[in-house]
Structure 1
Amino acid sequence: MLYVVFIGVLMGLANLIPGVSGGTIALLGGLYERFVGSISSVSAFKIRKEDVVFLIEIVAGIVIGILGFSTLIDVSLSRVPSLMYGIFSGLVIGGTPVVFKRIEKFDSSSFSFLVIGGLLVYLVSILASGPGKEAVLNHNTASLLYDVFAGFFGAAAMVLPGLSGAFILLIMGEYTRAIAALRHFDFIIIVFIGVGVILGIVFVSRLMKFLMKRFRSQTFAFLLGLMIGSLPDLFTRPGSNSNVLQIIIGLVSGLAISYLLSMFEKKTE
C-alpha cells in the first residue's frame, strides 16, 4: 500500500513539471500495466475490489504530490526560470531513450510519425494562446471550458510514458493558471481541470491500448517526436530573463535526474 502511494506521489510531482511524464514514473515503478489495466477495467464497468483499492491508493498519492509541491514549482518558475526550464529541457533530452527503445521497428513509417509529432508540438507551442496564458484566476465561461479542454489533453501524462501532461498544459497556455489555482486553492478552476483530466485519462487509455496493439512503433515514434519538438519552446521560455549559466546548470541537472531514473528502470526490469 505505502509503495503504491509513494509512486503516486512521484507521479503527482511529475505532473507538475513540464518535460516529466507521470506515465514514465509509473513504468519505472513497475505499476504502469496495472495502472492502465485498472483504469480500463473500471471505465468499462468491470469493477473489481483490487482495482478500486489500487486506484484509490495511487490517486491519493498523486493528489498529495500535486498539492504538496505546487507552491514550490510556482515560486521556482517565477524566481529562477532559466534554471527550471534548463532542468525541464534536460529531463526531456534524457528521457528520449526511454521512448526510443520502445520503437520496435524504426522504419520510414516510424520516422514519418516522429517528424509529424515534432512539427505538431512545435507549431502548437508557437500558436498556443489559451485563456490561461497570463495565469489570471478568472471564472468566465470561456476560461472554464478551456480548463476542461486543456485538462483533457494534459491527462495524457497519466497514461503515456514519455509524454508530459504538464508540458501539454504549458504549450496550451494553461500551465501557469493551473499552478496558480493549486497554490491559491481555487477549487472552481481545479474542478474544471479535473473533469477534463478524468475524461482524458479514460479516453486516452482506451485509445492507446488500441494504437499500441496495432501501431506500436509508429505510436512511440510520434511520442518521441513530441518530446523532441518541445525543446525549442522550453529553451526559449525564460525570454528576456534568460541566464545562460543557469540554463546550463539546469540542463546538466535534468540529464543527471533522467540518468538516475533510467538506472531505476533497469533495476526494475
Structure 2
Amino acid sequence: MLMGAADAVPGVSGGTIAFMTGIYEELIYSLKQCGFGALQVLSKQGIKAAWQYINGNFLVAIFGGVLLSLLTVSRAVLYLLDNHPILLWSFFFGLILAAVWSLVRHIKKWDISAILIFVVGAVSAWFITVMSPTSIESSPLIIFVSGMIAICAMILPGISGSFILLLLGMYAPMLTAIKELQIATLAIFAAGCASGLISFSHVLSWMFKHHKTKTLALLGGFMLGSLNKVWPWKETIESVINRHGKEIPLVQNNISPFTYETLNNQTAYLWYAIALSLFGMFLVILLEKIGSPDNE
C-alpha cells in the first residue's frame, strides 16, 4: 500500500519503498519468474507448482496492496499534494534522503567504478527531473507504451513512474481513468505494465546477480538525483490550465524557503517541513528494521 501511495506522487518511486522494506530483490526475482518458464511448469506440473514457481502469494500481496492504495490512500496523498504541497514534499524529501543512506550502506567496497556509476545515476535522475513535460494525444498504442515505460521507472528506486507519465503527458489521463474506472483504458495500460515488468525484471535480476555492488551504486545515485524533484519550495515558471480550470505547473525551479516567502507572501512552514523530513527519516530506519532478515 505504501508503494501505491508513493507511485501516485510525481517524484516518488514505489521502488524506493520496496528497497527500504527489504523486499526489493525478492520482488525483482518473483517478477522475473513470470515468463515462459512459468508456463512450462504450469503445463507439466500443474497450477500449484506454477504458483509456487512465481512466488504467487508474495506477488498477490504486493500488487493487491498497490491496487488498493491507488483506489483509496492515493486520493488522500493527492489531496495533500494539492492543498499542502510543502509539507508533503518535505516528508518525502526526508524519506528519500534517508533511503539513499539505507541503500548505499549495503555497498561493502567503494571503488572508482562504483563511485562513477553512483555519479552517473545521480546526474541521470537529476536530468530527468528537469525535463519539461510533453503533450501527446492519447491512443491505445501510446497508453500501452506509457505503461511499459512508467512501470519500469516505478520499480527503479529514485525514478518516479508517475513523473515519467507526467513527462509523457499521460499523468492526468491515467489518473482520470483510475478515478472514473475507465476499464478499457486501464486494461490497455495494465497490459503495457505487465509487458514492461516481465521484460525489465530480467535485466534487473541479472544485474543484481552479476553486478550487485554496481547496481546498488546506480540505484543509490538515482535516488540522490531524484531529490531535485521533491525539494519542497518551488517557483512555478510555466503552467497550464486543465479542462477542470485548475492550474497545473509544468516547469518549476527550486528556491529557498525564505525566497518562497518573499515571492508568494506566504509562510514557508519551515519548522513543520524540518519536522516532517525528520519523521520521514525515522520511518526509513523503522521500516528497515522491520524488513531486516533478523526480524523474519
1:205 positional shift: 1.3
Matches within 5 A, 1:97-176: 97-131=101-135, 140-141=138-139, 144-156=140-152, 159-161=155-157, 163-170=159-166, 172-176=168-172
Task: Please give the per-residue CA displacement for 1:109-142, whole angstroms capped at 9, x wherever unaligned.
Answer: 111112211221222222342337xxxxxx633x
What TM-score, normalized to structure 1? 0.77
Between the aligned partners of 2:20 and 2:123, the Cα distance in structure 1 is: 28
Q: Which residue in the other structure is 1:246 paired with?
A: 269
1:207 positional shift: 0.4
Q: Does 1:220 align with 2:222?
A: no
Between the aligned partners of 2:199 and 2:233, the Cα distance in structure 1 is: 30
Letter in 2 for 1:216: K
Q: Which residue in the other structure is 1:38 paired with?
A: 30
1:259 positional shift: 2.0
Given the superposition, is the C-alpha separation of residues 182 and 263 from structure 1 closer, same or farther in structure 2, using an over 3 Å criterion?
same
Mark the structure with the bigger radius of gyration: 2
Query: Where does the alignment leave 5 or more consecutive residues of structure 1 unmatched?
Result: 1-8, 133-138
Name the structure with the higher helix share.
1
Task: Please give the per-residue CA displacement for 1:182-234, whole angstroms capped at 9, x wherever unaligned.
Answer: 23334444334323322221122110111122222222212122222222232
Counterpart selection for 2:76 from 68, 72, 76 = 72
Contact 2:129 2:228 in 1 (8 A): no
Between the aligned partners of 2:90 and 2:20, the Cα distance in structure 1 is: 23
Q: Does 1:96 align with 2:96?
A: no
What TM-score, normalized to structure 2? 0.71
Q: Kindly tell me the number of residue pairs found equivalent between the two proteins.
A: 253
Contact 1:86 1:246 in 2 (8 A): no
CA RMSD in angstroms comes to: 3.1
Query: Where does the alignment leave 5 or more consecutive residues of structure 2 unmatched?
Result: 42-49, 237-248, 250-259, 261-265
Q: Which residue in the other structure is 2:255 paired with?
A: none
Q: 3-state SS of the aligned residue for 2:287?
A: helix
Letter in 2 for 1:13: A
Between the aligned partners of 1:258 and 1:176, the Cα distance in structure 2 is: 30
1:24 positional shift: 4.4
Q: Does 1:62 align with 2:66?
A: yes
Between the aligned partners of 1:248 and 1:229, the Cα distance in structure 2 is: 24
Given the superposition, is the C-alpha separation of residues 91 and 153 from structure 1 closer, same or farther in structure 2, using an over 3 Å criterion?
farther
Larger mean CA deviation between 162-171 and 97-106 belongs to: 162-171
1:20 positional shift: 4.4
- % identical equivalent positions: 26
Q: 3-state SS of the aligned residue for 1:239?
A: strand
Contact 1:30 1:268 in 2 (8 A): yes
